[in-house]
């Protein structure tokens, strides 16, 4: 699949109502967890961002991470290109900014990842709870159709071969 096609597919996924927000939260949680873990393990920020970019799972977020990488090469902060991408929420940007200023960026990223992992879990639970009634109605329609399909020929046969109306 070409880069343009995967970019449009990822953009479509992010634009879906309900599922787009879930995809975005998953990408943000993956970004924060991966970068936080790598930095906490002592990996320098440039190789860490390169690794996180390659494992982003979404081309649009990978491009935003690439912009962060280029920004850091120029000597800028991590928070500025995150804010410029309009993909990351203000809470994440604020926590990254505070983490950079205090030297606790890995810890801040891991806290953000925990929050977004919880949000992803809650969103998935909500989607599953919405799917249950839909599945019940779908199964009821299927069972009802089978019952009608089985009994309709029986009813027609009873009407055809039933008592004649000529007998007194």
Residue 81, pLDDT score: 86
Query: Binning pLDDT at 50, 70 and 90, where does residue 1 land?
Result: very low
- Over residues 50-94, the pLDDT tens digits come to 899 888 778 888 888 898 888 888 888 888 888 888 888 898 899
* Mean pLDDT computed over 99-105: 88
Cα–Cα distances (Å) from 100 to 45, 69, 124, in that order, read 11, 15, 32
Query: Whole-prediction pTM value?
Result: 0.73
Query: Binning pLDDT at 50, 70 and 90, where does residue 33 land?
Result: very high
* Mean pLDDT computed over 112-118: 92
Query: How do the domains of the chain map onto residue ranges?
Result: 3-116
* Mean pLDDT computed over 118-135: 90
> Which range (14-28, 37-51, 132-146) has the least confidence?
14-28
Q: What is the mean pLDDT of the chain?
A: 85
Residue 6, pLDDT score: 65
Q: 3-116 falls under which CATH superfamily?
A: Type II secretion system (T2SS), domain F (1.20.81.30)
Residue 2, pLDDT score: 47
């Amino acid at each position: 699949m070409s880069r343009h096609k995967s970019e449009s597919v990822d953009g479509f996924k992010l634009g879906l109502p309900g599922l787009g927000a879930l995809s975005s939260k998953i990408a943000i949680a993956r970004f924060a967890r991966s970068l936080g873990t790598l930095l906490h393990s002592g990996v320098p920020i440039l190789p860490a961002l390169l690794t996180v970019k390659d494992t982003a799972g979404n081309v649009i977020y990978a491009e935003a991470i690439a912009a962060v990488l280029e920004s850091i090469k120029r000597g800028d902060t991590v928070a500025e290109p995150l804010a410029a991408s309009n993909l990351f929420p203000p809470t994440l940007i604020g926590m990254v900014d505070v983490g950079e200023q205090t030297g606790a960026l890995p810890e801040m990223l891991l806290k953000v990842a925990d929050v977004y992992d919880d949000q992803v879990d809650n969103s998935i639970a909500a989607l599953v709870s919405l799917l249950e009634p839909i599945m019940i109605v779908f199964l009821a329609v299927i069972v009802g159709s089978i019952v009608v399909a089985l009994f309709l020929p029986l009813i027609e046969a009873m009407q055809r071969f039933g008592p004649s109306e000529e007998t007194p």
